Structure 1
Amino acid sequence: MSLHNNKNVKGDMALEDITGKSVPAIDVFAHSKKALVHHLMDALESRGTGVRSNDIKWVLTVPAIWTDNSKQFMRKVQKRYSFYPLIAGIKKDHLLISLEPEAASIYCQHLPTEKLSGAESGFTMAKVGTKYMIVDLGGGAVDITAHEKLAGGGLKEISRATGGDCGGTSIDADFIQLLAKIFGAPLIHTMKREQPEAYLDLVREFETVKRTITPSKEGKINMTIPYATLDSLCKKHLKEDLPSTLSLSPYTNTISIRGDKMRIDADIFKNLFDKTIKNILALLQEIITRKKTKEITMILLVGGFAECSLVQAEIRKRFLSRRVIVPEESGLTVLKGAVLFGHNSKAIGSRKIRVTYGIWFRTDFNPDKHDQEHFIESNGKAKCRDAFDIVIKRDTTVTPGTTVKKNYHSLKDDSYVDIVVYVSDKYDPVYTDEDGCTRLGGAKIDISDPSESQELEVEFVFGNTEMSLQAVETKSGNSCQLTFDLI
């Protein structure tokens, strides 16, 4: 979620653990990747398969709503940690990035009707022309896109990816807020800092219990709590034991303690879901109202949080005219789809550009287009500073490998040319410093012969899961060494 929420991810980005201790994010991801790689390789070795790391194409799944910076960050992990042989040994062309809702969509093409809860007998997602929305309900983020089934088996993205931080863990956050109303936020922070194991046990227990809640649930919901720890903290910081503290809270009539169990009224527990479900429904409604998606007749729920029957029920209630389908073991659909994507990365026939891409440049000042604030004079000429030269607009449909070409030139004695890439939420941004514009990164293009000016043709490559650049010197046709650094 830190990579999602931070729209300008950098290599030195730090994360905090629950005690507030800071650590480089790249270390966290490197150790996570190392653990996963070693887990697989140990399993393959113990089974005598003879498979080596270099025999494997590794597929890393990321949210479709992630920025290009966050995707590149995940690639940088293996480059930095060369002392992890398995990670460093994964070659660039052996590591494929897959977008999570796409992977789930690919996997669901192969499921029989009996594996799709909510589908009528004989239903198949493989029918040409079928339009549906994929809602990946994960722990942190909700990631949504829409596909149309094409002749030949491919999938066409008909609506750019949308999402937000309203996954399952946002309900955990509301549960912690409930505890803060009982015990006070300072005590909860003290528990996180001084008793992190007890705090994590409490969160994990809530995670387990919340999966069992149904719309019809009544009475009390029992969950185990670290009673001794909470009781000790209450006595130390609040001068009351745990039961007394609870009796003085707003929940004295709806929450009780019995042994090491907290007994919560079902209505109070279900209310913890309200805000998150409301945010999910708003995201779905926003996509449904888009011009290209009004014909969608089916909503496919995937991801671990999709197994929550409360969420399923509310989505079905809101979108009565659309069939809501939940695959069996929906928490594994992304994983299994990623394997299929690794075998056929062309399964997605086209994608929608999520943001408008452009280049910072200085152009001739046009009083009909440019405002006086961006006027500058350069070498006696009227120029516009910080102009946004559009490369490709948001919502453009592109096939994998689509290229957009731009021409640049170097000055004599220049050994390289720098270009700065910006992105914008707007369709027609004019300036790189306006609201909604963000600096994506810089590209450094090396010149083979600095002794003379060179004309350069830069190709921006779109339509894959990652945007890329390449450049050639137009006169000689030589490919240029190009570094595109986003973090």
Structure 2
Amino acid sequence: MRSFFTTTLTQIITHTSDLLEKPDCVGVEAILMVGGFSESKLLQEIVKMMFSQLKIIVPPEAGLAVLKGAVIYGHCPTAITERISKYTYGVATSVKFNEKIHPSSKRLVLDDGSIICEDVFDIIVKEGDRLVVGVAHKERSYKPIDESQKTIEFPVFISRDRNANFVTDLGCKHVGTLAIPLAGRGTDRSVTVRMLFGGTEIIVECVEQATSRIRRLKIDFLT
């Protein structure tokens, strides 16, 4: 029976070991096992053996812990005040091309002759960052590249790489696009982008500075 679960058990132990080696886990004294599989005596045995220096806690009805937690959260959303970001979040943007740091494959010449680097992953939140619920994180301001531009689009991407450079990098995933109408003309029309982490969804909020117009996008991880 043990051999049937070898791969799963190995992955759990490896992942747990990796987590415990992170700076944020320094001083951890116990492991709380919840979820249906936590009721497995085989899993409990291997966890206790591999992490004998820690206290292993398996509460009664461990399989219902996630469900009960969801119910409690539904009644009291303020029960969770802080989260750890699972992904690196950012938007696809363009910057002035720099031949010293940008690959030639990302070089694009615009109609006015200016040269930009496209597909840049402009990071707003990094994987592992501490996120206070309901607080906007690391605002970014962007401007149109064309004087007559009527809208500015913000394709939102996620990655497991804390230092992703381009949205075309391996592992980057497009999760939504937000289009913001722009008033007036010129390339100095600024739009501020920020992310709000609060409830069960992550919201990307864009504010057109000239008009204070706000647009919001809820990131859909199911599509």
Query: Shorter-chain TM-score category?
Result: 0.7 to 0.9
Q: Given the alignment, which residue of 46, 60, 64 partners 1:332?
A: 64
- What does 1:267-416 correspond to in 2, within 5 Å? 269-378=1-110, 379-403=112-136, 404-409=138-143, 412=148, 414=150, 416=151
State the partner residue of 2:162. Answer: 427
How far apart, in 2, do the equivalents of 1:305 and 1:484 lie? Answer: 32
State the partner residue of 2:206. Answer: 471
Displacement of 1:294 after TM fit?
Answer: 3.2
Q: Which amino acid aligns with 1:457?
A: T
Q: Which amino acid aligns with 2:140?
A: K
- Change in 2 beyond 3 A, CA 1:336/1:467: same
- What does 1:2-401 correspond to in 2, within 5 Å? 269-378=1-110, 379-401=112-134
Task: Give the secondary structure class of the aligned counterpart of 1:346.
Answer: helix
How far apart, in 1, do the equivalents of 2:217 and 2:64 lie? Answer: 36
How far apart, in 2, do the equivalents of 1:485 and 1:296 lie? Answer: 32
Paired residues of 1:361 and 1:387 also in contact (CA < 8 A): yes
Residue by residue, what CA displacement relative to the aligned partner does 1:102-127 show, whole Å, maximum 9, x if unpaired? xxxxxxxxxxxxxxxxxxxxxxxxxx
- Change in 2 beyond 3 A, CA 1:393/1:476: same
How far apart, in 1, do the equivalents of 2:204 and 2:197 lie? Answer: 9
- Change in 2 beyond 3 A, CA 1:332/1:423: same
Task: Give the secondary structure class of the aligned counterpart of 2:214.
Answer: coil
How far apart, in 2, do the equivalents of 1:310 and 1:348 lie? Answer: 31
Displacement of 1:405 after TM fit?
Answer: 2.3
**What is the number of residues matched between the two proteins?**
214
Unaligned residue ranges in structure 2 (runs of 5+): none
How far apart, in 1, do the equivalents of 2:11 and 2:206 lie? Answer: 43
Paired residues of 2:202 and 2:219 also in contact (CA < 8 A): no
How far apart, in 2, do the equivalents of 1:485 and 1:273 lie? Answer: 35
Residue by residue, what CA displacement relative to the aligned partner does 1:120-153 show, whole Å, maximum 9, x if unpaired? xxxxxxxxxxxxxxxxxxxxxxxxxxxxxxxxxx
- Change in 2 beyond 3 A, CA 1:380/1:476: closer
- Change in 2 beyond 3 A, CA 1:472/1:270: closer
Q: Which amino acid aligns with 2:16?
A: L
Paired residues of 1:398 and 1:463 also in contact (CA < 8 A): no
Displacement of 1:485 after TM fit?
Answer: 6.3
Provide the identity percentage.
27
- Change in 2 beyond 3 A, CA 1:402/1:326: same
By percentage of residues, which structure has more helix?
Answer: 1
How far apart, in 1, do the equivalents of 2:17 and 2:217 lie? Answer: 40
Q: Give the TM-score normalised by structure 1.
A: 0.41
- Change in 2 beyond 3 A, CA 1:446/1:313: same
Task: Give the secondary structure class of the aligned counterpart of 1:324.
Answer: strand
How far apart, in 2, do the equivalents of 1:406 and 1:338 lie? Answer: 33
How far apart, in 1, do the equivalents of 2:207 and 2:95 lie? Answer: 23
Q: Which amino acid aligns with 1:283?
A: H
Unaligned residue ranges in structure 1 (runs of 5+): 1-268
Displacement of 1:407 after TM fit?
Answer: 2.6
Residue by residue, what CA displacement relative to the aligned partner does 1:316-339 show, whole Å, maximum 9, x if unpaired? 011110011111111111222222
Q: Which amino acid aligns with 2:139?
A: K
- Change in 2 beyond 3 A, CA 1:271/1:472: closer
How far apart, in 2, do the equivalents of 1:420 and 1:474 lie? Answer: 19
Over aligned residues, Cα RMSD in angstroms? 2.3
State the partner residue of 1:459. Answer: 194
Paired residues of 1:357 and 1:424 also in contact (CA < 8 A): yes
Displacement of 1:408 after TM fit?
Answer: 3.5
State the partner residue of 1:182. Answer: none
Q: Which stretch has the larger CA shift, 335-344 or 404-413?
A: 404-413
Displacement of 1:409 after TM fit?
Answer: 4.4
How far apart, in 1, do the equivalents of 2:161 and 2:80 lie? Answer: 25
Task: Give the secondary structure class of the aligned counterpart of 1:272.
Answer: helix
- Change in 2 beyond 3 A, CA 1:270/1:393: closer
Q: Give the TM-score normalised by structure 2.
A: 0.84
How far apart, in 1, do the equivalents of 2:57 and 2:179 lie? Answer: 47
